[in-house]
Chain A
Amino acid sequence: MTDATANASARRTGSLLVPDARTRRRNAAEARFKIYGLAATLVGMVALVMLLISIFSSGTGAFFQTFLHIPVTLDAAVLDKSGNRDPAEMQKVTTIGYAKVLNASLQKVLDDKGMAVAGLTDKDVADMISKEAPAQIRNMVLANPALIGQTVDMTILANGRIDGYFKGRVSMESAQLDKNVSPRQLELADKMRAAGMLTTDFNWGFLTSGDSSDQRPESAGLGVAIIGSLYMMIVVLVLSLPIGVAASIYLEEFAPKNRWTDLIEVNIANLAAVPSIVFGILGLAVFINFAGLPQSAPIVGGLVLTLMTLPRIIIPARAALKAVPPSIRDAALGVGASKMQSVFDHVLPLAAPGILTGMIIGLAQALGETAPLLLIGMVAFVREFPGAPPQGFFDPASALPVQVYNWTQRSDPAFVERASGAVIVLLVFLLIMNAVAIILRRRFERRW
């Protein structure tokens, strides 16, 4: 009653075109809310932009690398003392022997061109070459012993600090204090660059080669991690798609609605929220200790990630099935189709875009996961590529997020750049997967 009298007294009397106090207040509240919303969006955007700027500014360097171009004289006296080109005999010459050959070649080139910098010892000059280079030459020679005695034009990696100098990470001032590089070495590097011996090129090795130790950041690559992640995603896809879809079809279409199915439903929702490291503990106990599967293998990683991804696939798959209108089922059943026919011929095709979207987003989450891999030995230094599938699933491998984690822990500052570069690669993969999900949804989704 009081409301009615209040309303009666508040009945507006003036012109509609002139807003009264109350309307103005409401309009002002709306304007304020818009500003809050805009500010919230801006905060999110700024955070994202800052993240991207920091990653890209420190990470793009990983895609470029400084290479040294020199003719290398493969001295037979060092590499094949007996002179009979016997592979077994030549195996005994280690990379230390090859490093000597390499250093002598570099020294000779510098002497020939008169580029020597006063005060630099032979060792200082040798340290400008990556420690990866002797292994590269050794593999080349062992693959083709006929090269011994010849002079071969080679492109080898320059040391990480020299590379850092051209990327701005190392300066003359920092070199003064740095035990691993001296300003004289940088001076020589400048001369070599002017002479065209040092160039900075696109670094395919970052995407194709394996990890390397702390002493040679310049040669560390993501190859093994990319293959490992790919293998794991294959395992996850092959296992979780049929299991997830079968489970959601059963629960949504066939299962009776009773206490048991309710319980299952609650548990699936709970599982989706379980911290991912729990699945790692489970994987260690079940797949490694009980089933006897090998450590550090993508198959175990894939199985663990499957367990983690399943609930995250079942929930959107059920939602997609639920979104198909009952009239479709009723019509199919009405013309005499069996329940299974109605599901597989009518409901499932209509729900497929939604299921696939859920699947891809689930995979993308699994791709970025490190914690469950920690316990099953995948957070490790893995240099060698796993074999071709199916055997390769059981060989040790790393994974993309694991590689990021590993590199952030290395002491050499050059690995910071590598870690950020790996984040960029991971982001690109995630972006592609999410874009595919969006395209699928846009093109095939039907609304009723």
Chain B
Amino acid sequence: MTIMKLTASALAIAAVSATAAAARDQVQVSGSSTVLPYATIVAEAFGENTDFKTPVVEGGGSSAGLKKFCEGVGENTVDVANSSRKIKDSELETCKQNGVTDIMEVRIGYDGIVFASDIKGADFTFTPEDWYKALAAEVLVDGKLVPNTAKNWKDVNPALPDQEILAFVPGTKHGTREVFEQKVLEAGCKASGAEEVITGLKGGDAKAATETCVKMRTDGKSVDIDGDYTETLSRLASAPHGIGVFGLAFYENNTDKLKVAPMGGIVPSVETIADGTYPVSRPLFFYVKKAHIGVVPGLQEYAEFFVSDDIAGPDGPLAAYGLVPDPELAKTQAAVAAQETMK
């Protein structure tokens, strides 16, 4: 009797799932946790202001999102992947293998990466060079690479306050880490003249030199944070002498707890990032599966809504939350309307 019931319920489930598989009526988005708050703001406004259902937005990181995105075409795959970096060639290759060929790339704006400490702590002004000298695994001393022994910010640069070095840096699974390595450590390496010398030491191998530049010390002065900025914030609360790496939007929401350090003399803000004077910023993207347009209701409209002036423009809610608006938004809007795909 139990077996009879079981078969019956299994059949019932199969029947219902067959009907359900035929219709998904909301957009599904996955990807970068940096883009996540912006995407939820857009999804919410999209659901409120249109007849379409509110899209479902998932975080999990750029790589995880793009992996899901490239799994294939069909109702049970995601329509949009958010990313805090450009899609990689290897990812495009995977996409192609799984039949995801026409991909629209949409740049939504820029995000600044800021360096902030506890509000009660000392004032810092950094240059990329300071960070390189403080956090690199090996530094140059008398033309030779030796393990980094700097203990105090004063050791690195006498102009900095007398404070023990302790940095909370996003872990390697975050897109933010890549930007940090490229725009801070590598830039600092280059600015201090170390890169040239290291290239010489490595026998002219520029790639190996870059790798040495961005290799970070593992003696506890730099702590990798695999969680979100909220984790960095709570680490700072328990270790007030630390310096944390945050997204601009996160900092803007916690200005009563955090003090931001200018980088290269420039205080990070939506304005300084937009005009390019603040050095540590990066573009944010989302990717749309063109094959799903017309199949999943509201997908094209969602993409257009996201980049519309009311949303992504300088007076829109995204800018109010901390996104740096894209000066070339009109171009993006046209590309989205024309459904231009990546080459």
Chain A interface (Cβ within 8 Å of chain B)? 91, 94-96, 131, 135, 138, 174-175, 177-180, 212-216, 238-239, 242-243, 245-246, 288-289, 291-297, 299, 374, 377, 379-384, 390-391, 393-394, 396, 408-413
Decide if A212 touches B230 in the complex (CB within 8 Å): no
Residue of B nearest to A390 (CB): B16
Decide if A411 touches B56 in the complex (CB within 8 Å): no
Residue of A nearest to B33 (CB): A409
- Asked if A239 meets B9 with Cβ closer than 8 Å, knowing A214-B40, A288-B76, A413-B254, the reply is yes
Decide if A212 touches B44 in the complex (CB within 8 Å): yes
Please provide the chain B residues from 208 to 232 with a CB less than 8 Å away from any CB of chain A in the complex: 227-230
- Asked if A294 meets B24 with Cβ closer than 8 Å, knowing A383-B47, A410-B230, the reply is yes
Shortest distance between the CB of B137 and any CB in chain A (Å) = 30
Chain B interface (Cβ within 8 Å of chain A)? 2-3, 5-6, 9, 13, 16-17, 19-21, 24, 26, 28, 30, 33, 36-37, 39-41, 43-45, 47-49, 51, 53-54, 56-60, 71, 74-78, 119, 227-230, 249-250, 252-256, 310, 317, 320-321
Q: Specify which chain B residues have a CB less than 8 angstroms from the CB of A215 in the assembled complex.
A: 41, 317, 320-321
Per the bound structure, the CA–CA distance linking A409 and B60 in Å amounts to 11
Q: Specify which chain A residues have a CB less than 8 angstroms from the CB of B13 in the assembled complex.
A: 299
Q: Specify which chain B residues have a CB less than 8 angstroms from the CB of A288 in the assembled complex.
A: 76
Per the bound structure, the CA–CA distance linking A178 and B33 in Å amounts to 24
Per the bound structure, the CA–CA distance linking A381 and B42 in Å amounts to 12
Q: Specify which chain A residues have a CB less than 8 angstroms from the CB of B229 in the assembled complex.
A: 411
Q: Specify which chain A residues have a CB less than 8 angstroms from the CB of B60 in the assembled complex.
A: 374, 379
Per the bound structure, the CA–CA distance linking A245 and B2 in Å amounts to 9
Decide if A396 touches B26 in the complex (CB within 8 Å): yes
Pick from A95, A131, A177: contact of B119, CB under 8 Å: A177
Shortest distance between the CB of B249 and any CB in chain A (Å) = 7
- A-B pair count, CB < 8 Å, reads 142
Residue of B nearest to A246 (CB): B2
Q: Specify which chain B residues have a CB less than 8 angstroms from the CB of A91 in the assembled complex.
A: 51
- Asked if A409 meets B59 with Cβ closer than 8 Å, knowing A293-B76, A295-B28, the reply is yes
- Asked if A377 meets B28 with Cβ closer than 8 Å, knowing A212-B44, A384-B47, the reply is yes
Pick from A131, A216, A246, A411: contact of B230, CB under 8 Å: A411
Q: Specify which chain B residues have a CB less than 8 angstroms from the CB of A246 in the assembled complex.
A: 2-3, 6
Which of B9, B45, B78, B310 lies at the interface centre, i.e. has the most chain A CB atoms within 10 A of its CB? B45
Decide if B310 touches A411 in the complex (CB within 8 Å): no
Decide if A411 touches B71 in the complex (CB within 8 Å): no
Given contacts A295-B28, A410-B230, 4 further A-B contacts (CB under 8 A): A178-B256, A377-B78, A394-B17, A410-B37
Decide if A214 touches B41 in the complex (CB within 8 Å): yes
Q: Specify which chain B residues have a CB less than 8 angstroms from the CB of A174 in the assembled complex.
A: 256
Decide if A293 touches B28 in the complex (CB within 8 Å): no
Decide if B56 touches A289 in the complex (CB within 8 Å): no
- Asked if A296 meets B56 with Cβ closer than 8 Å, knowing A91-B51, A131-B317, A289-B71, the reply is yes
Decide if A180 touches B58 in the complex (CB within 8 Å): no
Decide if B6 touches A242 in the complex (CB within 8 Å): yes
Per the bound structure, the CA–CA distance linking A186 and B43 in Å amounts to 30
Decide if A379 touches B16 in the complex (CB within 8 Å): no
Per the bound structure, the CA–CA distance linking A135 and B317 in Å amounts to 14
Shortest distance between the CB of A281 and any CB in chain B (Å) = 13
Per the bound structure, the CA–CA distance linking A374 and B59 in Å amounts to 10
- Asked if A179 meets B76 with Cβ closer than 8 Å, knowing A213-B44, A380-B57, the reply is no
Shortest distance between the CB of A86 and any CB in chain B (Å) = 15
Shortest distance between the CB of B313 and any CB in chain A (Å) = 11
Decide if A180 touches B253 in the complex (CB within 8 Å): yes
Pick from B2, B74, B78: contact of A292, CB under 8 Å: B74
Decide if A294 touches B256 in the complex (CB within 8 Å): no
Pick from B37, B54, B256: contact of A411, CB under 8 Å: B37
Shortest distance between the CB of A174 and any CB in chain B (Å) = 4
Residue of B nearest to A135 (CB): B48
- Asked if A213 meets B40 with Cβ closer than 8 Å, knowing A379-B58, A394-B20, the reply is yes
Q: Specify which chain A residues have a CB less than 8 angstroms from the CB of B36 in the assembled complex.
A: 381
Per the bound structure, the CA–CA distance linking A374 and B64 in Å amounts to 11
Decide if B17 touches A179 in the complex (CB within 8 Å): no
Per the bound structure, the CA–CA distance linking A432 and B227 in Å amounts to 32
- Asked if A178 meets B255 with Cβ closer than 8 Å, knowing A293-B17, A394-B16, the reply is yes
Pick from B3, B41, B58: contact of A213, CB under 8 Å: B41
Per the bound structure, the CA–CA distance linking A295 and B60 in Å amounts to 15
Q: Specify which chain B residues have a CB less than 8 angstroms from the CB of A411 in the assembled complex.
A: 37, 229-230, 249-250, 253-254
Decide if A381 touches B17 in the complex (CB within 8 Å): no
Per the bound structure, the CA–CA distance linking A408 and B229 in Å amounts to 10
Per the bound structure, the CA–CA distance linking A408 and B20 in Å amounts to 32
Residue of A nearest to B57 (CB): A381
Residue of A nearest to B246 (CB): A411
- Asked if A177 meets B255 with Cβ closer than 8 Å, knowing A292-B76, A381-B56, the reply is yes
Per the bound structure, the CA–CA distance linking A52 and B254 in Å amounts to 26
* Cβ contacts A to B, 23 pairs, < 8 Å: A94-B310, A96-B310, A175-B256, A179-B255, A214-B40, A239-B9, A289-B76, A292-B74, A293-B17, A296-B28, A299-B17, A377-B30, A380-B30, A380-B57, A381-B56, A381-B58, A382-B54, A383-B43, A383-B44, A384-B47, A409-B228, A411-B37, A411-B249
Q: Specify which chain B residues have a CB less than 8 angstroms from the CB of A238 in the assembled complex.
A: 9
